[in-house]
Amino acid sequence: MIPAAFEYFSPTSVDEALGLLREHDDAKVLAGGQSLMPALRLRLAAPEVIVDIQKIDELHGVRDDGDALVIGAMTPHSTVQSDPLVSEHARLISLATATVGDPQVRHRGTFGGSLAHADPAADLPAVAVALDASFVIAGADGRRTVPATEFFQGMFSTAVGEDELLVEVRVPKYTGWGAHYEKFNRVAQAWSIVSVAAAVRLDGDSIAEARVGLGNMGPAPVRATAVEAALVGQPATAEAVREAAARAADGTSPGSDLNGDADYRRHLATVLTRRAVLAAAGTA
Amino acid sequence: MTRITVKVDGSSFTDEVEPRTLLVLYLREQLGKTGTVVGCDTGNCGACTVHLDGRSVKSCSLLAVQADGHEITTIEGLATNGELHPMQQAFHENHALQCGYCTPGMIMQSIDLIADNPNPSDEDIRHGLEGNLCRCTGYQNIVKAVQAAAAAAPAAPAAAQHSAVGGAQ
C-alpha cells in the first residue's frame, strides 16, 4: 500500500527540527524509517507532517567522551555494529545490533530510531537498560538527560515529549567486560519472544559485577537486578549461574500472545539468562 | 510536491515527487525501471533491494524524497556493455532461480554481501540473505551462485562497492 498523504520537512539542524515539531500538532519524526515506513504503508500511522532528521549532521556518528561513549541518534545500525569504539567499550551493543532486522534494515535503521520507537520486542532497549545508558533529549528549554530506566515508559512509549527530539545516547564504558546477547525467536526476521542482554566483569574466576537486561518481558525493558545481585562474588560456573538466573523473571509481568504465554516467557527468561551470562563470562 | 535530484544507474534525474512516493514506485513508475519489483507490504521480502550510495536497502521502506542527493543502483544498472555482472552470470549459470521474482533483490543483496565478506561460508551467505525471501525454495542454488561469484571475482567487487559508500552512512 501507499502511505496517506503528508507534508514533508527535512530540517538541517536540531533547532529547526524542534521548531517544526512545535509548529505542527500531528507531526512524526522520521529517522531511518525501518519501523515507521511499514506502519505508514499499512496505514497504522497517518501523520499529517513528517519531519525527516537525516540531514542533521550532529545526530550522526560515535564519539569518545572520556568515561562514556556517545552514539548519535541517527547512526545506522550497520555503523554501530562495526564501530571499533563500540566494540571495545560496549561490546554488548555490537552483538545485539548485529541481530537487528536484516542487513538491508541495518543499513537504514538507526540506533536512536529503534530506541525511541520502544517496541517491547526490539533488541536495543534491553541492552540500554542493562548498560545504564542515558538519553539526551532536546526540547524548547534546552537539553535534558534521562536514565534508561526512566526513558522507557511502556509499549511504544518513552520520555521523549511531543515537541522533543532524542539527540544522542551516552553509554558508560564497559572496557574488558564480557558480553552476550541471547534472543529467542521462531524464524529469521521474527521478533524476539524473549531476549536477554548480559555483561559480566570477572575478577579471577569469579563474577565481580554483572548487568542483565530483559526484552519483551513486559511493555518496557526490565533490568534483572535480582540476578545481578545474586551473581556478584559467585564463580562463573554452570551451577552458580543457573541458580542466580532462576530469579530472572522476579518482578516481571510478561504478556501472552501467539508466540507464548506469560508462564512460558518467565521460564524462557531463566533459561536465556543462564545462557547469556555463561556466554558473557566466557568472553570476559 | 517536492523536488529531488538523484543519480540512478549512472544517470541524473531531477523530478517533482509527492512526499509519500515510495522509492520503489518512483523507480518503477516515474523512471520506468521495472526491473526492481515490489514483493510485500511489510519490508520483509527484500525483492525491492537496491543500492543507495553503494549499500543495500529495501526501496519499499524508503521515500523517494529520502534519496534526494544520493546515488542509486538497481538491477538494471549492473550489466555493462551487454555483459552481465559476475553475480548475474553466477545466478544464470547455477540456475539460482525458479520463478525469478526474488532474483533482482537476491542479486543486489548478494553483491552487498560479498563486498563486506569476499570469502563467505555457506552459513555467512544464508545469514547475509536473511532479509530476502524466495518462495520457490531456491535457496540451495542461490547459495551456490553466491559462492561461485565470490570465487570468480575475489575482492574486485568489494573494492568497487566500497568506493561508492557515501554520506548516508
Q: Are B74 and B50 in contact (CB under 8 A)?
A: yes
d(CA B131, CA B135): 13
Instruction: Output the pLDDT for position B168.
Output: 36
Q: Are B75 and B91 in contact (CB under 8 A)?
A: no
pLDDT tens across B55-66, in order? Answer: 999 999 999 999
Report the residue of chain A nearest B128, measured CA to CA. Answer: A103
B7 strand-pairing partners: B12, B71
Mean pLDDT for A97-102 is 96
Least confident window among A72-81, A129-138, A243-252, B158-167: B158-167
Residue B166 has pLDDT above 70, yes or no: no
Q: What ipTM goes with this model?
A: 0.93
d(CA B153, CA B147): 10
Whether residues B131 and A101 touch (CB distance < 8 A) is answered with: yes
DSSP H or E segment with residue A138: strand A134-139
d(CA A126, CA A40): 26
Whether residues B2 and A37 touch (CB distance < 8 A) is answered with: no
Best B28, B36, B58 member to test A by mutation, with max A CBs in 10 Å, is B58
Domain topology for A57-172? 3.30.465
Chains A & B: contacts with CB separation below 8 Å: 92
CATH superfamily of A178-283: CO dehydrogenase flavoprotein, C-terminal domain (3.30.390.50)
Residue B77 at interface with chain A, using a CB cutoff of 8 Å: no
Domain topology for A7-52? 3.30.43
Cell of B19: 512526499
Secondary structure class of B92 (helix, strand, coil)? helix
Best A6, A41, A107 member to test B by mutation, with max B CBs in 10 Å, is A107
The CATH architecture annotation of domain B2-77 reads Roll (3.10)
Q: Just give the CATH number of B86-162.
A: 1.10.150.120
Residue B153 has pLDDT above 80, yes or no: no
How close A104 comes to chain B (CA, Å)? 5
Outline which parts of chain B fall under CATH 1.10.150.120: 86-162
What does DSSP say about strands A49-52 and A62-65: parallel, antiparallel, or unpaired? unpaired
Residue B162 has pLDDT above 90, yes or no: no
Whether residues B19 and A6 touch (CB distance < 8 A) is answered with: yes
Outline which parts of chain B fall under CATH 3.10.20.30: 2-77
Q: Are A110 and A123 in contact (CB under 8 A)?
A: no
How close B55 comes to chain A (CA, Å)? 7
d(CA A277, CA A177): 12
Report the residue of chain A nearest B57, measured CA to CA. Answer: A104
Mean pLDDT for A259-265 is 95
pTM summary value: 0.94
Whether residues A42 and B41 touch (CB distance < 8 A) is answered with: yes
Residue extents of the structural domains in chain A: 7-52, 57-172, 178-283
pLDDT tens across B87-139, in order? Answer: 999 999 999 999 999 999 999 999 999 999 999 999 999 999 999 999 987 79
pLDDT tens across A144-202, in order? Answer: 999 999 999 999 999 999 999 999 999 999 999 999 999 999 887 788 999 999 999 99
Looking at chain A, the whole-number percentage of residues with pLDDT higher than 70 is 100
